[in-house]
Structure 1
């Protein structure tokens, strides 16, 4: 997952990743490590205090949070491991899978994503509240999971034969993660079908932006930009891509956010500003109802017609960008309904090197839409049948070509928009 100095995360769905593809969370040690090693109860209390001050729901999901403090501080803790167990137990009372404690190893791994270099199988996961199993948000393109055939919204029902029903996300992440060239077996439920996938872990280099020059049927050159993830390199690569296309004098753009599970909030704001010269991009609302609003700042790189492609694997930061461009009438959104993750987490370091992710806010699109569990509805809905979807998955080089039905529709819409803009320019 952000925008503030302690690291805001766009939904723990984007943070809970087997490849640790998450947030650039800044470390903030509020007490000395030695202090907490000597008094682990203080670590329990610090976590309680953070939740008490920052949690998005002032009712703490109908939990008597003060009574919880009394219960857990009334205990004795002989080691930090006992404190860790108590903290995890305490947080479960909130019934919020995205507010979570991380031991020092987990917290260190959480920050790997900002380098764009990952180790794992390449999937982002969340808890599925309906089934209590682990849900795949999206596989990272060209990762082992992607190549094996793992798809967005698959249920992971077992990891190496161990059921994931009721499993903590941290535990699932740790079971799936491992050393390069080792194997993990994921049992996947897709509809009525269940099958096992044996996947080899590896080092993954995420290339966030891929581009290609495309010609429309009437001879117009347009820029195709596929954005795979909102990591720390995404904004710079996007800027370079747009500037290169502008130098080539292209007539319009297709921005492909399909199966992009999100990432850094600040990257989504920066990228939105490259397309929008004015208007609101996103606002966040905390439990006091306060709104922090991010807006365009007059630094758009282009005003040429734009079509955005989305699908069920487009989540968090992808939904911020597509929602901002849609609500500001800057782009036509094409594809299928997005994932629907509109929660914001703050990630901070604790005194002994462990960490805490806390749901502190939800975000709204410029028109005030709360898309959590709802997603963004495209302006033009175009489903792809399963055979074609599998064909595109197996041959990614066909994405953004005439063999890609959603891209073909985007190209047709873009051609119309280019023509309309040209007519308006002549009239003026």
Structure 2
């Protein structure tokens, strides 16, 4: 590899930034200012000695020299830079904090807005094992048509192992140009060998809201994610079902891994009476309160369907309705993610996502690593767990919810 004068200077320059991670160095003296990218205020002040700074710079330079002399493959300066940034954040040992390169952040923003080019599937990463799993392919989407199934574990993308990779980095690998192909290697159930599946990427609009009128004037709203585009779809679904004569309602947040806090707050504001929706608290005991105006509350019997993949914003949604005693939770215990991440865009187009606070339900519950227990526990039939689209009449959890609402009317 050719000598990189830029990289040597870069590694020396980044030294000051690296000292913020005191968990690695076990240093308690600091004088480093970290600016809040949202308002420019100083949020934290640290300090480190000149000698310690020099030691970090010397070691980075030494590592770069070893890479130059011995590393077999070519690697770009940008890849090394991104690796340093990612290593800085990964030292926090927090599966929810990450550094996004410019390309990764663009991908994240596309997904949040609801339209992107990809395979059309919900994926999730297990915080403990690091395993990335297909939660559900969009019905009739590219992944669905190619034979991807719920529960498939992704092991490689285009022949590259994704072990240890951040979820959004994997998503960036899966996305690409429209009509191009991506090869996924997946592990499935009792299959002894990995399965290779080729999927043709297409423009996909995230299906975040589905709704229908069931028997006995029971409305059904499925919420697959909480995105910016979800809020209006959600409100329209409620309005349409009310016009059709809905007298009770089922919200389905099973397999919904969460999304934007502001989205779920806006959606709950359409349902709840005036009062607390959720509040957050950071390490300094400071936070924000999110309240409902009560201008458009919904006063009909309600059920929320939940399972072990209902996480984060889904738990905000379910927890608020449970605390207000406005809905019965049916299903299995939720995932248990009671923390909030904030994304801070950087000037070069990259971004950093950090866990910044805990959130609490209206009654003051923090459910992190605990989850929310349903009021009525019902396991989904084993035969249905690998089925992408379960007919309503076969969905035993849904049928239990309908039965509860019918009995409540009597």
TM-score (norm 1): 0.75
Residue matched to 1:413: 404
Q: Distance in 1 between matches of 2:234 and 2:90?
A: 39
Alignment of 1:182-193 (within 5 A): 182-188=181-187, 190=189
**Alpha-carbon distance, 1:342 to partner:** 2.3
Change (3 A) 1:272 1:126: same
**Alpha-carbon distance, 1:264 to partner:** 1.3
Work out whether 1:330 is the aligned partner of 2:307: no
Contact 2:219-2:246 at 8 Å conserved across structures: yes
**Alpha-carbon distance, 1:304 to partner:** 0.6
Cα-Cα RMSD: 3.3
Q: Secondary structure at the match of 2:288?
A: strand
Alignment of 1:124-273 (within 5 A): 124-131=122-129, 133-136=130-133, 138-142=135-139, 143-146=141-144, 148-152=147-151, 154-181=152-179, 182-188=181-187, 190=189, 195-200=194-199, 201-216=201-216, 221-273=217-269
Change (3 A) 1:365 1:193: farther
Q: Secondary structure at the match of 1:259?
A: coil
Q: Secondary structure at the match of 1:402?
A: helix
Of 344, 352, 359, the match for 1:356:
352
Q: Distance in 2 between matches of 1:43 and 1:107?
A: 23
**Alpha-carbon distance, 1:356 to partner:** 1.0
**Alpha-carbon distance, 1:329 to partner:** 0.7
**Alpha-carbon distance, 1:190 to partner:** 4.0
Contact 2:209-2:224 at 8 Å conserved across structures: yes
Q: Distance in 2 between matches of 1:62 and 1:271?
A: 43
**Alpha-carbon distance, 1:291 to partner:** 3.4
- 1:117-167 Cα offsets, whole Å, 9 max, x none, are 122223454543543x43327335324345534325x54333344433333
Contact 1:125-1:134 at 8 Å conserved across structures: no
Q: Distance in 1 between matches of 2:209 and 2:116?
A: 16
**Alpha-carbon distance, 1:355 to partner:** 1.3
Alignment of 1:21-420 (within 5 A): 40=10, 44=14, 60=23, 63-64=26-27, 70=53, 72=56, 75=60, 82-131=80-129, 133-136=130-133, 138-142=135-139, 143-146=141-144, 148-152=147-151, 154-181=152-179, 182-188=181-187, 190=189, 195-200=194-199, 201-216=201-216, 221-391=217-387, 393=388, 395-396=389-390, 398=391, 401-419=392-410
Q: Secondary structure at the match of 1:275?
A: coil
Q: Secondary structure at the match of 1:203?
A: strand
- 1:178-212 Cα offsets, whole Å, 9 max, x none, are 33330222222547866425141322112322221
Q: Secondary structure at the match of 1:223?
A: strand
Change (3 A) 1:62 1:83: closer
Q: Distance in 2 between matches of 1:89 and 1:389?
A: 37
Q: Distance in 1 between matches of 2:27 and 2:360?
A: 28
Q: Distance in 1 between matches of 2:273 and 2:25?
A: 43
Contact 1:268-1:321 at 8 Å conserved across structures: yes
Contact 1:340-1:372 at 8 Å conserved across structures: yes
Q: Give 5+ residue unaligned stretches, structure 2.
A: 1-5, 31-47, 65-75
**Alpha-carbon distance, 1:307 to partner:** 0.7
- 1:284-336 Cα offsets, whole Å, 9 max, x none, are 12111223221222123421110111122322211110111112111001112
Q: Secondary structure at the match of 1:226?
A: strand
Q: Distance in 2 between matches of 1:316 and 1:257?
A: 11
TM-score (norm 2): 0.78
Q: Give 5+ residue unaligned stretches, structure 1.
A: 1-35, 53-58, 420-428
Change (3 A) 1:92 1:186: same
Q: Distance in 2 between matches of 1:129 and 1:63?
A: 25
Change (3 A) 1:170 1:73: farther
Q: Secondary structure at the match of 1:332?
A: strand
Q: Distance in 2 between matches of 1:125 and 1:62?
A: 34
Q: Which has the higher contact order (CA 8 A, sep 6+)?
A: 1
Q: Distance in 2 between matches of 1:62 and 1:338?
A: 36
**Alpha-carbon distance, 1:282 to partner:** 1.5
Q: Secondary structure at the match of 2:227?
A: coil
